[in-house]
Amino acid sequence: MMMRHLFIHTLIAMFFVNSLAAAERDAVIQLDGCSGFIVDGNLLVTAKHCRHPDTMAVIVGKRAVTARKVYAHSGVDGPVVFRLDGGPYESLALAERLPEMGTKVYSLGYPGGHWARIEGEIVGGNGVDVNYTNHRIATGASGGPLLDSRGEVIGVALFVDSNLAVHRSGFAGWRVTTAAVHQVRKTKDSGPQRYRRRTVVVVFSSENCGPCRQLEQDVRAGHFADYEFQFVKWDARAQTWSQPQRYQEFAKACQPKRGSLTFPTIWVEGTNQYRVGYQAARRGGLLGWLTAAVRHLIEGIAGQEEPLSIPLPDSSPVPESEGYKKRPDSAIEQLVEDVAGLRDQAVRTKADLDEFRTSGVVGKIKAIARLKSDKGAALDQVGKVRNDVEAIRDDLREQPLQFLWGLFGLLSGLLQRRFAH
């Protein structure tokens, strides 16, 4: 009976661990060449050096959502905060205290466009303005969160040491990160009214319009939750609109051709942007068009609020390592070493899987704990290999053509000797 309870409790714990991992993944967003993460339900945090436009469309879950920049760190690099339309969305929590040296941490993001969770610990920095960790992030991970063992945000990914022999990454520190979010919280209700409500989409329809009814059903089902839809219907018997003023506003803004409208006609209030027709199978096309139309609306508003910026100490960029110019041959040796490490990790994982299959309940519980650790170690090793490959690629671009074949020959020979058995 005791063993049964232990097994049930283990399953429950695994369920909550998996649920937490799924929530974290929903809260971390893949951006154009970078990553970002959501806090407070509708604030998107990323890195300044990613150079995202002041207004952009991002994918949250399966929705296209408009993001507007409301904060930018005053230094060369640091946190940038965007406010998302709609929400609340799955979010991460900010840590309430400064992380200590040696704190176990992990970073989340999309290096190379692929989801990754990489574990490490804090090995340097003051924790206030900058944190250094002993793991390497890769291209695409910038802007992603650094989290402590409680899953709370303590930093934002900014850079990785250019010396491949040094496993060190730099993150915006705890105070810089929390100060950015706190500053935006203070100004949450101070912006223009147009920023505090959803964009209004007006649909001109009729009772006999099948696509119009389908669009109404999809709106009620929540497929366009980021927008406020208003349906203005044509009464064929009375020869009038249900909201004549709405049609007059549309006609003044868009100046459609005289004659009858095609139903449905979809108009974004405050713009001259409209389109006709709707198909449920092409719902994504309408979402994309709405995002573009909203961008026109934002860009046309005079006096748009400027991104906030507050001065913070020690915001100067960290100097590049002296090992920036890495020799191609040593980079290849590093790649071979890291590939061998990945192979060794795979062997350890296989051994833990075998033990899980053959052991009793207690053995399975222990094996599960080791397999979770194996997963993190494997992801870390994969990140190292990816960094090595990117470094070699960058170095080869600078080498004379006659030197390339020698490098690839050396790599091939080393790999063959290493994995011949």
DSSP of 125-139, one letter per residue? Answer: S-SSSEEEESS---T
For 27-191+305-321, CATH gives 2.40.10.120
Q: How many other C-beta atoms are found inside a 10 Å radius of the C-beta of residue 219?
A: 17
Over residues 48-59, the pLDDT tens digits come to 988 889 999 998
Equal CATH topology for 27-191+305-321 and 195-299: no
Q: Are 203 and 264 in contact (CB under 8 A)?
A: yes
Q: Which of 93, 89, 95, 92 is nearest to 42 (CA)?
A: 89
Taking phi first (over 0 means left), then psi (-120 to 50 degrees means alpha), and beta for anything else, what does residue 113 get?
Answer: left
Percentage of the chain beyond pLDDT 70 is: 73
Where is mean pLDDT largest: 94-98, 161-165, 358-362, 407-411? 94-98
Q: How far is the C-alpha of 55 from the C-alpha of 33, rounded, in Å?
A: 16
Position 356, amino acid: F
What pLDDT does residue 404 have? 54
**What is the rounded average pLDDT of the residues 133-138?**
89
Over residues 191-211, the pLDDT tens digits come to 333 333 467 899 999 988 999
Confidence of residue 320 (pLDDT cuts 50, 70, 90): very low
Q: How far is the C-alpha of 48 from the C-alpha of 142, rounded, in Å?
A: 9
Q: Which of 10-24, 164-178, 191-205 has the lowest mean pLDDT?
A: 10-24
The answer on pLDDT for 179 being more than 50 is yes
What pLDDT does residue 279 have? 85
Mean pLDDT, the chain, integer: 76
**What is the rounded average pLDDT of the residues 281-308?**
59
Specify the higher pLDDT residue, 9 or 41.
Answer: 41
Q: How far is the C-alpha of 195 from the C-alpha of 68, rounded, in Å?
A: 10
Question: Burial, 186: exposed, middle or buried (Cβ in 10 Å; 0-12, 13-18, 19+)?
Answer: exposed
Residue with tokens 């604030």: 43
Arch. (CATH architecture) of 195-299:
3-Layer(aba) Sandwich (3.40)
What pLDDT does residue 303 have? 32
Confidence of residue 81 (pLDDT cuts 50, 70, 90): very high
Residue with tokens 């790649």: 335
Residue with tokens 């890291």: 338
Q: Which of 107-111, 150-154, 222-226, 325-329 has the lowest mean pLDDT?
A: 325-329
Confidence of residue 119 (pLDDT cuts 50, 70, 90): very high
**What is the rounded average pLDDT of the residues 337-343?**
75
Which residues contact residue 106 at a Cβ distance below 8 angstroms, ignoring those fewer than 6 apart?
117, 118, 119, 120, 146, 147, 376
Domain ranges of the chain: 27-191+305-321, 195-299, 328-418
Over residues 230-279, the pLDDT tens digits come to 999 998 888 899 999 999 999 888 888 766 678 999 998 878 888 998 98
